[in-house]
Amino acid sequence: MHASPPNGGPRVKPEGTRVPDITFHTREAGAWKDITSQELFAGRKVIVFALPGAFTPTCSASHLPRYEELAGEFRKAGIDEIVCMSVNDCFVMEAWRENQNAKNVRLIPDGNGEFARAMGMLTDKSRLGFGDRSWRYSMLVVDGVIEKMFVEPDVDGDPYEVSDADTMLAYVAPGHRAAPDVVIFTRSGCGHCARAKKALEAASVRYREIEIASIGGIDAVRAMTGRDTVPQVFIGGTHIGSADELDKHLAQDAA
């Protein structure tokens, strides 16, 4: 089964074929370390998710944090490692790992885009000033062979619909249901943000709070939601909206 090519680009490497043979130039604990595809994948079950860039809004707010959060569930399902790849250099990826406090996901820099290109997943983001980047996707690799891929649809922008951790968990552990990922974007001193958090707490809903100053301010919120206000709430990857919209959503759930 072939996935859709990104933005009319080359054909995506199909399921049932081997991952590209690449040497990744990484930094771990402040030291240089070369890692090969053989070392990453041979004799192991590995989940890879690739994304457009470190420190970008969706990648920092949802994609990486949810895989980090569900790492224990993936281990129970027999997964040996979770790998995040991005066409960024090793210094950027190391800084992002520290910024995100990522302890359960291994961040691998595809600095020259060799892996993304060989996967058929390199896409041109020049209009944003990013140059060549990876299309967003996830895959399960078993002993170096691609068993399953979830590739985001070939539409404009940065779709985030199927490469998420919950979709992958449903594939590797059918029937398992993790608590939905609830994220609230806030700003210090915002009364409506405080009201939204109280509403979630009153409904016994666990959530992650992201102060927008840490991800680029209101511009990052606008990029994800098209809105210029906070709070903005996401539940299970679905944009719920403001404090008022959250109240309506919680009331519908309680009905």
Q: What pLDDT is attached to residue 176?
A: 80
- Predicted confidence band at 13 (pLDDT cuts at 50, 70, 90)? confident
- Predicted confidence band at 248 (pLDDT cuts at 50, 70, 90)? very high
Question: 25 pLDDT exceeds 80?
Answer: yes
DSSP alpha helix (H) spans, 144-217: 165-172, 191-202
Higher per-residue confidence, 217 vs 253: 217
Beta strands in the chain (DSSP E): 23-28, 31-36, 45-51, 81-86, 106-109, 122-124, 132-134, 137-142, 145-151, 182-186, 208-211, 232-235, 238-241
Average confidence (pLDDT) over 63-80: 95
Question: 117 pLDDT exceeds 60?
Answer: yes
Question: 234 pLDDT exceeds 70?
Answer: yes
Question: 106 pLDDT exceeds 60?
Answer: yes
Of the candidates 102, 139, 100, the one whose C-alpha atom is nearest the C-alpha of residue 121 is 139
Higher per-residue confidence, 75 vs 180: 75
Torsion of CA 229, 232, 237, 238, to 10 degrees: -80
Q: What pLDDT is attached to residue 2?
A: 40
- Predicted confidence band at 8 (pLDDT cuts at 50, 70, 90)? low
- pLDDT, one tens digit per residue, over 28-62 is 878 899 999 999 999 999 999 999 999 988 888 88
- pLDDT, one tens digit per residue, over 138-189 is 999 999 999 999 999 988 778 888 999 999 999 999 988 778 889 999 999 9
Amino acid at 113: G
Please, what is the average pLDDT of the chain? 91
- Residues with Cβ < 8 Å from 151, sequence gap 6 or more? 3, 4, 6, 12, 121, 135, 137, 162, 163
SS3 240: strand
Instruction: List residues with catalytic annotation.
Output: 59
**Dist. CA 110–CA 116, nearest whole Å:** 7
Q: Residue 191: phi, psi to the nearest 5?
A: -65, -40
Half-sphere exposure of 186 (CA within 13 A, CB side): 20
Of the candidates 58, 68, 44, the one whose C-alpha atom is nearest the C-alpha of residue 165 is 68
Residue in the structure block whose two tokens are 């299309």:
135
